[in-house]
C-alpha cells in the first residue's frame, strides 16, 4: 500500500460527509474509515508529518479540501504538551497512530447566549486513547475539552479529520469564565 490509502480515505470521507446532513450521522459514517486509515498510517505518513516542537504540540496539515469543507492533520504530542481548553465549531474524528492521548472533557453549566463572558464550565470525564483507538465529536453543543500527554508518558501521534479547515476555534479560561477566538496557522498551534 502507498499513498493510495490516503487518496482513497479522502475520496470516501468527502463522499460520506457530503451525504450526511447531521454531524452525528457524519461521524458515524466516518469513524470506520478512520479506523482503517490509522491501521495503514505507516504507508502514507511522511517524516514531515511527524514534525514536533519542544514549545507545543504540533499540527501538521496532511490534506485540505479545495472548498475548505474537510481537513486532515497529524498532531504530534511530546510528553507534557496540552491544548488549552477549547471547542471546534465542527464535527471531528480522531484516530491514534502512536502512544496514549488523554482527553479531559468539560461540561458547560451556563446556557450558551453567544457571549464570550460568564461561561461556567466544570471538569467532566477523562478518556484515554491508545494506539488504534478512534473517537469523535459533534458541535451544538460543542465538545469542550483539553487534550494532551502527561509528562510521564511517551510521545503520541494522532490523526484528526474535521468538517472544515481547522484554523480557528474558541479557547476557554475556566477560572475567568471567558471564551476567546484564536486563529492558528496550519502547521502550528
Task: Give the distance, in angstroms, between the CA of residue 125 and the centroid of all CA atoms in the same chain.
Answer: 17
Task: From 55, 61, 77, select the one nearest 6 (Cα to Cα).
Answer: 61
pLDDT digits (tens, 9 = 90+) for 73-113: 999 999 999 999 999 989 999 999 999 999 999 999 988 88
Residue 18 confidence (pLDDT): 92
Number of folded domains that form the chain: 1
- Average of per-residue pLDDT values in the chain: 93
Residue with cell 447566549: 113
Please report which confidence band the pLDDT of residue 48 belongs to, taking 50, 70 and 90 as the band edges: very high
25 part of a folded domain: yes
99 part of a folded domain: yes
134 part of a folded domain: yes
CATH of the domain at 92: 2.60.120.10
55 secondary structure, DSSP code: S
185 pLDDT above the threshold of 80: no
Residue 189 confidence (pLDDT): 35
189 part of a folded domain: no
93 part of a folded domain: yes
Residue with cell 473517537: 135
Residue 1 confidence (pLDDT): 42
169 part of a folded domain: yes
Strand 156-162 and strand 144-148: pairing? unpaired
* DSSP E strand boundaries for the chain: 58-64, 71-77, 92-98, 100-108, 121-130, 134-137, 144-148, 156-162, 168-173, 178-183
119 pLDDT above the threshold of 90: yes
66 pLDDT above the threshold of 60: yes
- Domain boundaries, position 46: 4-183
84 part of a folded domain: yes
Stretch 2-9: mean pLDDT, rounded?
86
pLDDT digits (tens, 9 = 90+) for 131-166: 999 999 998 777 899 999 999 999 999 999 999 998
Stretch 25-46: mean pLDDT, rounded?
96
188 part of a folded domain: no
Stretch 53-81: mean pLDDT, rounded?
96
Residue 153 confidence (pLDDT): 97
187 pLDDT above the threshold of 70: no
Amino acid at each position: 500500500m502507498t499513498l493510495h490509502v490516503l487518496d482513497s480515505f479522502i475520496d470516501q470521507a468527502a463522499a460520506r460527509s457530503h451525504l450526511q446532513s447531521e454531524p452525528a450521522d457524519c461521524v458515524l459514517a466516518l469513524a470506520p474509515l478512520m479506523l482503517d486509515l490509522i491501521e495503514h498510517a505507516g504507508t502514507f505518513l511522511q517524516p514531515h508529518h511527524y514534525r514536533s516542537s519542544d514549545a507545543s504540540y504540533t499540527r501538521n496539515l496532511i490534506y485540505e479540501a479545495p472548498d475548505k469543507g474537510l481537513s486532515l492533520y497529524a498532531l504530534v504530542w511530546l510528553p507534557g504538551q496540552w491544548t488549552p481548553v477549547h471547542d471546534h465549531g465542527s464535527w471531528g474524528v480522531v484516530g491514534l497512530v502512536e502512544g496514549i492521548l488523554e482527553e479531559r472533557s468539560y461540561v458547560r453549566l451556563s446556557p450558551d447566549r453567544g457571549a464570550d463572558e460568564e461561561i461556567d464550565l466544570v471538569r467532566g470525564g477523562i478518556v484515554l486513547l491508545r494506539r488504534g483507538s478512534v473517537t469523535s465529536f459533534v458541535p451544538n453543543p460543542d465538545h469542550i475539552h483539553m487534550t494532551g500527554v502527561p509528562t510521564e508518558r511517551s510521545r503520541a501521534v494522532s490523526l484528526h479529520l474535521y468538517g472544515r479547515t481547522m484554523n480557528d476555534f474558541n479557547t476557554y479560561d475556566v477560572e475567568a469564565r471567558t471564551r476567546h477566538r484564536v486563529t492558528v496557522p496550519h502547521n502550528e498551534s
